[in-house]
Chains A and B, each alone.
Chain A
Amino acid sequence: MHFGLNEEQQLLQETVQGFVAGECPPPRLRELFDAGTGHDPGLWKGLAEMGIPGLAIDEAHGGAGMQLLELAIVFEELGAGCLPGPLFGHALAGLAIQLAGSDAQRERWLPGIASGETLATVAFADGADGWDPEQWSLGLDGGSLRGQKQHVPHGGHAEFCVVGVAGGGFAVVETQADGVRCEDENGIDRGRPLATLHFDGAAAEILEGDAGAAARVRDAAAVLLAAEAFGAAWRLVTMTTEYAKTREQFGTPIAQFQGVKHQLADMATQVEASRALYWYAAHAWDELPAESAHAAALAKSHITDRAIEVARASVELHGGLGFTWECDVQLWFKRVLFDRAWGGTPEQHRRRIAELGAW
C-alpha cells in the first residue's frame, strides 16, 4: 500500500516547481498578466523541453506515457506559480484524442501535441453552463460545424481545437480554417485567456473512438482544475503567512495577534486537508474506474470552494493593499475563479455527486 507520491513524482514536482520559480517569478508573472496575452513562447518552449505537453500521452506517439496523477502534480505547480500559458486546453486536447481518436487520428495529431510544436485546445461550453457532454448541442451538418462554443481556453493561440458536439462526441477543427472565427472574451484570468469560437460551416473531423471518452475528459478536466486550485490555495496560504510575519501594526507583526494567527491556521488546515483529495481523484481516474467520476466531482467542488475562501481571506489579511491591482494576491484570486467556474460550478458537480451516489 502506498498513498503518496513516489520518488519520480516528487522529482517531477520539484523540477516543475524550480522551473516556475526560475522562469516566471512574480515580477515576470506580473508583466505577462498586464500584457494580457496569456502566452509566452519562451515559457512554453521551456515546458516542452521538460516533456510537459506530452506527459500523459503514449510513448508510441512521442509522449512520456505517464498518467493523470503526474499531470495533476504539474497542475498543482501551475496553480502555485499562477503560470500563464496554454497547457490546460492543450493537455485536455491530447487526452481527448488519445481516448477518442482512431489509430490514424492519433498518429496524425498526437506527436505534434506531445512535442508542444502544435498548440491545441478544447471547446466544451455550449452557452454559459453547458459543460457536460449530455448538454452539448453543437450540430454537425454534413461534416461541418455550425454554431458556437464559449470559454475556449487560449482559443486565440491554438492551431486546432477538439470540439464537443451533440451526442457527446468530439470533432477536431483547425482554428485557421474557413468558417471559423475567434472572438476574444476578455477572460478574468489574464494568464489564461478565453475565446468564443464561431463556426459557420467549418470543416470538422469526427473522432471515431469510444463514446465514453467525453465523460472521461470532463472528469480529467475537473481533476486538473482541482489540483491547480489546490496549488493556488496553498500558495495563497504561504504568501499570506509571510506577509503576516512582516507587516507590523501596534508595534508587532500582525501574525502575533491571535485573530490573525487563527485565521491563518484555519486557512492552512482547510487547504492541507484537501491535498489527499486531489491525489485520490487523480489516482482514481488512472486506476479505479468505478470511483473516478465521483472522486473528480468531489475534488473539483470541494477544493475550489476552499480555494475561494482562502483567496478572500488572503485579500482581507493584506488589508487595503490586498484590494489593489498592484497586490499579487489578485493574480491567484483570478486563477482560482477560473478553476472554480470552468467545467461547471461546485453546485453542478455536487448534483452529479448526488446522482452518482444514487441518493
Chain B
Amino acid sequence: MNLTYGPEYEAFRAELQEFLRGWPLQGDEAKLPRNEQERLFRKRGIEAGYVYRSIPAEYGGAGRQSDPLYDRIIQEEYARTGAPGNRLNQGPGLLVPTLLDFGTEEQKRRFIPPTLAGEMQWCQGYSEPGSGSDLASLQTSARLDGDHWVINGQKIWTSNAREAHYMFGLFRTEPDAGKHAGISYLLVPMDAEGIDVRPLKQMTGSEEFNEVFFNDVHTPADHILGKRGEGWTISRATLRHERNLIGNPALMRQQFEMMLAIARRTERGGRPAIEEPGIRDRIAEVEGFVRCVETTNLRMLSAESRGEAMQVMLPMMMIKLYSTQVMERVASLAYDLLGGDGLLAPIVENDSIYDGSGTLRGGVHNFLYSMGPSIAGGASNIQRNIIGERGLGLPRDLRPSGG
C-alpha cells in the first residue's frame, strides 16, 4: 500500500491551497450578498480548473482529463476551507452527468453551461404520491401532441422546485407498454403554464421540498433524454450518481469535528462534557464508524483510479446505506451532548458553529436533517434489498405487481 499521492499531486494540492486562500472574499467583494460571493468564487474555480474539472470546456467545465485522485484532493481541500466548489445539488450533481451520458449534442450545449454557472437550477421529478420506492408504478402522463409533450399528473417531495428553472423527471409516455418500458425522461420548464408548485414544510422547519401539479403542461418534443421508453434505464444511471453523492467522507469528517466541538463546548457539572468517560467512549465508538467510511472510500477511490472498480462492487452497493447510518450516529451523539438545549427548536438558517458565530442549536437541525438521506435516493430498506439480492445472491422478494 502507498497512501502518498506522489509529487505531482502534492504540487497540485499546494497550488490549490494557495488558490483557496482567496476564500472568504476580502475587501469590497466581501460586502456582496452571500450567493453573489459564492457565484464569483465558483467562477474563479472553474477558470482555474478546480471546479467541474473534467467536464468538457465547450460545456462550461474546466476540460481537464478525468482523474479521481485530483477530484479527491479538490474535494478534501474545498471541504476543509468551506469554499463553494462543485455544488452537489440536483443540476450539477445529477442531471449533468446524465446529460453527458445520454444527451444529444444540442441538449448538452444548451443545458450544461448555464447549469454549471448556477444560472439554471434544476429539480428532480421522480416521486409521486403513490410511487415512491415502487417508482416504476408512476402515473403522471406525457402525451405527444405535434411538437409538444402534454403533461398531466402530480409529483411530490420535489426538492428545491420553487427555485428551479427546469425539472428533469420521469413520465409515462407509452401507456400500453409495460410498467418499466412505458416511461420516458423529460426536461420540463418550471415556468410553463399549468404548473403549480406548493411547498411542503419539513420536520426541520425548512421548506425545501414541494408538491408539483401538472395541468396540461407543455414541453417541447425534443426535450426528451434518450428515446421514448428509455426513461427507466436512464434514471438508474442518475440514481447511481445520487448515491455517490451521499457517501462523501469529507462531509462525514466535518460532522464528526462539529460533534467534537459540541462536546468541548458543552459543560456537565462545570466541566466540558468531553472529559466524561462515558462520553469519550461513545465518541471513540462513533469514530470507528467514521473511519470505516473514510477508509472504505479510500479503497474505492484507489480501485477506481486504477481501473479496478469490479473489485469494490460490494462496498459500492453498501456505501449509501452505511454512510447514512453513520451520519445518524454522529448526529445522535451530537444531540445527546446538547442536553437540555436539545429541547429547543432548531435554528434553520446559517447556523454554523465552525466560525464561532453560530450556536450549538445547529446540532438540533443536523440531528433532524440526518433522517433525510436515509429516505431520499432509495430508502434504507430498498438498499438492503439490493445488497441482499445483488450482493449476497439471495432470492428476490415476492413482488405482487411483478416489478
Contacts and interface: CB of A to CB of B under 8 A. Distances in A.
Do chains A and B stick together as partners?
yes
Interface string A283-296: 10001100000010
Interface in B365-403: 381, 383-385, 387-389, 391-398
B329 to A, nearest CB: 12
Nearest to B326: A273
B308 interface: yes
B391 A265 contact: yes
Given A241-B392, A273-B293, A351-B281, A262 B302 contact: no
Interface stretch (A15-23, A121-129, A251-259): A251-259
Contacts of B318: 268-269, 272-273
Contact of A3 (B263, B280, B283, B302): B302
A298 interface: yes
B397 A256 contact: yes
Given A2-B302, A283-B3, A265 B388 contact: yes
Interface stretch (B54-62, B168-176, B284-292): B284-292
B308 A350 contact: no
Interface string A224-268: 000000000000000001001100000011011010011011101
B289 A302 contact: yes
Contacts of B321: 265, 269
Given A245-B394, A273-B322, A353-B284, A261 B292 contact: no
A210 interface: no
Contacts of A5: 1
Contact of A359 (B9, B274, B384, B391): B274
A287 B3 CA distance: 10
B292 to A, nearest CB: 4
B3 A3 contact: yes
B34 interface: no
A359 B280 contact: yes
Given A298-B291, A302-B288, A353-B287, A265 B299 contact: no
Given A258-B397, A298-B287, A269 B277 contact: no
Interface string B293-318: 10110110111011010010011001
Given A277-B292, A279-B1, A268 B387 contact: yes
With most chain B CB atoms within 10 A of its CB, the pick from A273, A274, A277 is A273
Contact of A351 (B275, B280, B289): B280
B387 A3 contact: no
Given A298-B288, A359-B280, A261 B299 contact: no
Contacts of B274: 359
B260 interface: yes
Interface residues on B, range: 35 or more
B5 interface: yes
Interface string B3-22: 11110010000000000000
A359 B263 CA distance: 9
A332 interface: no
B69 interface: yes
A253 B392 CA distance: 14
A283 B395 contact: no
A279 B397 CA distance: 35
Contacts of B9: 1
B2 interface: yes
A69 B1 contact: yes
Nearest to B381: A262
A359 B296 contact: no
B388 A261 contact: yes
A279 B388 contact: no
Interface in B311-342: 311, 314-315, 318, 321-322
A245 B389 CA distance: 11
A264 B3 CA distance: 32
Contacts of B383: 265
A275 B319 CA distance: 13
A291 to B, nearest CB: 10
B6 to A, nearest CB: 7
Nearest to B389: A261
Interface in A324-346: 346
B387 A265 contact: yes
Contact of A273 (B6, B281, B296): B296
Nearest to A256: B395
Contacts of A269: 318, 321-322, 387
Contacts of A349: 284
A283 B2 CA distance: 9
A4 interface: yes
B18 to A, nearest CB: 22
Contacts of B385: 258, 261-262, 265
A207 to B, nearest CB: 29
Contacts of B306: 2, 4
B180 to A, nearest CB: 22
Contacts of B69: 1
A301 interface: yes
A167 to B, nearest CB: 27
Contacts of B381: 258, 262
A51 to B, nearest CB: 21
Contact of B292 (A258, A274, A287): A274
A354 interface: yes
B293 to A, nearest CB: 7
A276 interface: yes
A226 to B, nearest CB: 11
A49 to B, nearest CB: 27
Interface in B205-254: none
Contacts of B260: 359
6 contacts: A264-B392, A279-B1, A283-B3, A288-B3, A349-B284, A354-B283
Given A258-B384, A273-B293, A276-B295, 9 more contacts: A4-B311, A244-B394, A265-B385, A276-B298, A280-B298, A283-B1, A351-B284, A354-B280, A354-B283
Interface of B: 1-6, 9, 69, 260, 263, 274-275, 277, 280-281, 283-285, 287-289, 291-293, 295-296, 298-299, 301-303, 305-306, 308, 311, 314-315, 318, 321-322, 381, 383-385, 387-389, 391-398
